[in-house]
């Protein structure tokens, strides 16, 4: 029952997000002096769910430990009690000690027999990319089968519409069949941020396991502390960025560096996804282009984007002809409400097209009421749709009595009721004529001539034998 309640609660929290998981995209050009070294990039405004810049965002890349984001999501949504203590079984992950690219893996000194809660394991995985934690999570949530857990990851990817993503493991270790895109990773990350506990776990800078394991870690409070791998979160460092949080970093020898991180400033929040950043510079020196790319994108967004009125509610969008009007035979249209959008200050809003107007009707007949819906206008920039606004009548348009009377007279013959009455009259007349004909036929059939014998009344024989007249003299 408790598990059912948790699932239902998560669904209630996440349901609104599912309707808007995919971000709208308006790809604004970067400053001329800016360059992004990462092969793929996406920058999303989390307040409006709008992608404001992208580079090779649909190109398939190896995610590395970025897959831990999905691992965490599947775990949180399917494990009933995150506070449950789990005894670590090293046999679940000891095969990772001998993989082909050992430098790709990160370990958090989680040893056989250690006791950790599922929440502890999530922190270890998200902060340090711990493969011990990721494999243990997959094994436990998959009911003893990491393969089953990977199936759950792919099912979740399909549910979220991540059509260019495929998972083969929960750790992020190299596999040519494991891939994703910057766009898919942005969609997944936005969804994950709506899942309970995920944001708090993935944006924590340091964490100490909640269960004491003093036997294997005698100085646990000071030495067994997990710190987030995102160096932008360091209190004071060369790559520190004020307002940066989490979410996940990833390194692969064959695929470079990846990062998913977010930053907030002055009430604005952005999510950056950088993939396949070079591990070294041109001189072979270790470099962190993915971090400098993220900082550059955040600075660009914070310094050059603000909310602007793209279409005022007083702007005249067009006019529509009105028949039978008293005075002007048209009505002006304006937006029903003001349309405000996060906009790049280097681009004049006058370049936004508002010519795409769809009217509900081609013409109107008076009267027309102020505020009456007339149609919709779609705003576009460089062929990309910014939004659609309903447009309404600016003022009332009264009906002319004389024009209406003339119109009514002209339309009388075309009236549906008139045509119906005419049809009914015709039918009644036809019926009347048929009745008359029928009555005439019936009358004629009943009025037959009588036989001649009955034409003259029959006389008494005695009356026929009349005596001859007598002479008076006799």
Give the residue numbers of the binding site: 248
Task: Please give the Cα distance from 427 to 412 (Å, whole number).
Answer: 20
Q: Are 331 and 394 in contact (CB under 8 A)?
A: yes
Q: Are 89 and 111 in contact (CB under 8 A)?
A: no
Q: Are 190 and 173 in contact (CB under 8 A)?
A: no
Alpha-carbon separation of residue 108 from 33, 149, 259 (angstroms): 40, 22, 19
DSSP H or E run through 249? strand 244-252
Cα–chain-centroid distance for residue 391? 23
E-only strand ranges, 57-160? 85-87, 115-117
Q: Is 355 exposed, middle or buried (0-12, 13-18, 19+ CB in 10 A)?
A: exposed
E-only strand ranges, 8-144? 24-25, 40-45, 50-55, 85-87, 115-117
Query: Which of 85, 109, 75, 87 is closest to 6 using CA atoms?
Result: 75
- In 3-state terms, what secondary structure has residue 333? strand
Task: Please give the Cα distance from 347 to 363 (Å, whole number).
Answer: 36
E-only strand ranges, 88-200? 115-117
Task: Please give the Cα distance from 341 to 386 (Å, whole number).
Answer: 8
- The radius of gyration of the chain's CA atoms, rounded to the nearest angstrom, is 43
Query: Which of 299, 313, 304 is closest to 347 using CA atoms?
Result: 304
Tell me the backbone φ, ψ of residue 47, rounded to 5 degrees.
-75, -35
Task: Please give the Cα distance from 249 to 125 (Å, whole number).
Answer: 11
Q: Are 384 and 25 in contact (CB under 8 A)?
A: yes
DSSP H or E run through 52? strand 50-55
Q: Is 126 exposed, middle or buried (0-12, 13-18, 19+ CB in 10 A)?
A: buried
Give the residue numbers of the binding site for substrate: 248
In SS3 terms, 28-58 reads as: CCCCCCCCCCCCEEEEEECCCCEEEEEECCC
């Amino acid at each position: 029952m408790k598990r059912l309640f948790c699932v239902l609660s998560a669904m209630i929290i996440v349901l609104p997000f599912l309707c808007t998981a995919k971000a709208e995209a308006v790809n604004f050009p970067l400053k001329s002096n800016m360059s992004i070294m990462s092969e793929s990039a996406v920058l999303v405004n989390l307040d409006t769910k709008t992608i404001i810049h992208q580079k090779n965002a649909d190109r398939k890349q190896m995610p590395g430990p970025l897959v831990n984001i999905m691992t965490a999501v599947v775990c949180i949504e399917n494990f009933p009690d995150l506070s449950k203590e789990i005894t670590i079984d090293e046999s679940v992950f000891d095969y990772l000690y001998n993989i082909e690219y050992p430098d790709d893996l990160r370990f958090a000194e989680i040893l056989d027999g250690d006791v950790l809660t599922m929440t502890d394991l999530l922190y270890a995985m998200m902060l340090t990319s711990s493969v011990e934690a990721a494999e243990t999570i997959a094994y436990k949530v998959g009911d003893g089968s990491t393969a089953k857990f990977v199936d759950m990851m792919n099912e979740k990817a399909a549910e979220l519409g991540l059509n260019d993503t495929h998972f083969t493991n929960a750790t992020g270790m190299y596999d040519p069949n494991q891939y994703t895109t910057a766009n898919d990773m942005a969609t997944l990350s936005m969804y994950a941020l709506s899942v309970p506990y995920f944001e708090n776990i993935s944006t924590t800078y340091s964490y100490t396991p909640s269960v004491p394991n003093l036997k294997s870690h005698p100085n646990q409070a000071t030495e067994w502390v997990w710190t987030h791998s995102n160096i932008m979160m360091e209190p004071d460092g060369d790559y520190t960025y004020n307002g940066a949080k989490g979410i996940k970093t990833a390194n692969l020898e064959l695929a470079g560096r990846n990062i998913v991180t977010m930053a907030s400033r002055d009430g604005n929040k952005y999510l950056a996804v950088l993939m396949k950043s070079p591990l070294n510079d041109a001189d072979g020196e270790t470099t962190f282009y993915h971090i400098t790319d993220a900082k550059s994108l955040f600075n660009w967004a914070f310094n050059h984007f603000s909310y602007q009125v793209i279409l005022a509610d007083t702007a005249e969008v067009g006019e529509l002809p009105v028949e039978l009007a008293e005075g002007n035979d048209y009505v002006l249209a304006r937006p029903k409400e003001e349309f405000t959008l996060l906009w790049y200050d280097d681009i004049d809003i006058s370049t936004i097209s508002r010519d795409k107007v769809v009217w509900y009707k081609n013409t109107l007949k008076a009267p027309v009421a102020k505020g009456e819906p007339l149609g919709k206008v779609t705003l576009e920039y460089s062929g990309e749709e910014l939004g659609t606004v309903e447009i309404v009548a600016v003022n009332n348009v009264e009906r002319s009595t004389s024009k209406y009377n003339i119109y009514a007279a002209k339309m009388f013959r075309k009236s549906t009721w008139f045509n119906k009455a005419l049809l009914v009259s015709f039918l009644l007349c036809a019926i009347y004529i048929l009745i008359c004909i029928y009555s005439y036929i019936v009358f004629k059939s009943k009025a037959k001539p009588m036989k001649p014998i009955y034409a003259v009344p029959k006389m008494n024989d005695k009356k026929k034998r009349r005596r001859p007249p007598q002479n008076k003299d006799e």
